[in-house]
Amino acid sequence: MDATHQMKSHIGEKIAQPALRYHVPDRNGLYRPIHFFLVTKRMHQEILAERESILSGMSATDSARQQKIFERYDPALSLRGFHSILEMFGVQARR
């Protein structure tokens, strides 16, 4: 290859975290979950996927600290609340 077509090395470049929809960055470098009263099945799946994405980019120490924060808000409870309200009004939810 000549000099105009050389490959660029990306080692040392910081990979940007994709835009988050369900978590807010905190000053300490960790993320706070946004607490939703009601969560649809799709939102629940997206929240869990976003959490996996956040954890995958962290050191083991930060990941353990982050997991403790995630444990304070279980989106499955909000999903069950959503289904309970639908059932109250006679709407059959797809599970």
Query: pLDDT tens across 40-86, in order?
Result: 999 999 999 999 999 999 999 999 999 999 999 999 999 999 999 99
Task: Supply the pTM of this predicted model.
Answer: 0.78
What pLDDT sits at residue 1? 56
In the chain, domain spans: 21-88
pLDDT: which is higher, 12 or 6: 6
What pLDDT sits at residue 92? 84
Query: pLDDT tens across 11-43, in order?
Result: 665 556 668 999 999 999 999 999 999 999 999
Classify residue 10 by burial, with Cβ atoms within 10 Å: 0-12, 13-18, 19+. Answer: exposed
Q: Copy the structure tokens of residue 45.
A: 């799946």
* Sequence letter at residue 43: M
pLDDT bucket at 4, cuts 50 / 70 / 90: low
DSSP 21: S
